[in-house]
Amino acid sequence: MATFLGATTRLHLTTESGVPVKADLPSWEAPDLTAGARCTVLPHEKPVLVAERAG
Protein backbone atom coordinates (compact mmCIF):
# COMPACT_ATOMS: atom_id res chain seq x y z
CA MET A 1 0.00 0.00 0.00
CA ALA A 2 1.22 3.53 -0.71
CA THR A 3 0.04 6.74 0.92
CA PHE A 4 0.51 10.00 -1.01
CA LEU A 5 1.77 12.80 1.25
CA GLY A 6 2.52 15.50 -1.33
CA ALA A 7 6.23 15.48 -2.15
CA THR A 8 6.63 12.19 -0.23
CA THR A 9 4.96 8.81 -0.68
CA ARG A 10 4.95 6.36 2.24
CA LEU A 11 5.19 2.67 1.36
CA HIS A 12 3.81 0.01 3.68
CA LEU A 13 6.02 -3.04 3.10
CA THR A 14 6.37 -6.51 4.58
CA THR A 15 9.72 -8.32 4.79
CA GLU A 16 10.08 -11.97 3.84
CA SER A 17 9.96 -12.81 7.56
CA GLY A 18 6.65 -10.95 7.92
CA VAL A 19 7.95 -7.81 9.66
CA PRO A 20 6.05 -4.67 8.58
CA VAL A 21 8.19 -1.76 7.38
CA LYS A 22 7.26 1.80 6.39
CA ALA A 23 9.46 3.63 3.92
CA ASP A 24 9.19 7.20 2.61
CA LEU A 25 10.41 8.10 -0.85
CA PRO A 26 10.07 11.06 -3.21
CA SER A 27 6.64 10.93 -4.90
CA TRP A 28 8.23 11.19 -8.35
CA GLU A 29 9.68 7.68 -7.79
CA ALA A 30 6.35 6.11 -6.72
CA PRO A 31 4.74 5.64 -10.19
CA ASP A 32 7.45 3.07 -11.03
CA LEU A 33 6.24 0.78 -8.22
CA THR A 34 3.30 -1.63 -8.38
CA ALA A 35 1.40 -3.38 -5.60
CA GLY A 36 2.93 -6.75 -4.76
CA ALA A 37 6.25 -5.99 -6.46
CA ARG A 38 9.42 -7.26 -4.78
CA CYS A 39 11.95 -4.66 -3.72
CA THR A 40 15.12 -4.25 -1.72
CA VAL A 41 14.99 -2.11 1.42
CA LEU A 42 18.23 -0.40 2.40
CA PRO A 43 18.69 1.99 5.33
CA HIS A 44 19.36 5.62 4.40
CA GLU A 45 23.02 6.62 4.59
CA LYS A 46 22.16 9.11 7.34
CA PRO A 47 21.48 7.70 10.82
CA VAL A 48 17.90 6.56 11.36
CA LEU A 49 15.98 5.23 14.32
CA VAL A 50 14.71 1.69 13.92
CA ALA A 51 12.43 0.56 16.73
CA GLU A 52 10.04 -2.29 17.34
CA ARG A 53 6.50 -1.15 18.09
CA ALA A 54 5.29 -2.22 21.52
CA GLY A 55 1.97 -3.95 21.72
Q: What is the pLDDT along the chain (55 residues), one digit of tens a residue?
A: 555 557 888 888 888 899 888 888 888 888 888 888 888 888 778 776 777 777 6
40 belongs to a structural domain: no
Backbone angles phi, psi at 27, to 5 degrees: -60, -25
23 belongs to a structural domain: yes
Q: Domain range holding 8?
A: 2-32
The pTM of this model reads: 0.61
44 belongs to a structural domain: no
Cα 55 to Cα 9: distance, rounded to the nearest angstrom: 26
Number of domain units in the chain: 1
Region of residue 18 (phi > 0: left; psi between -120 and 50: alpha; otherwise: beta): left
Nearest to 10 by CA among 24, 26, 29, 27: 24
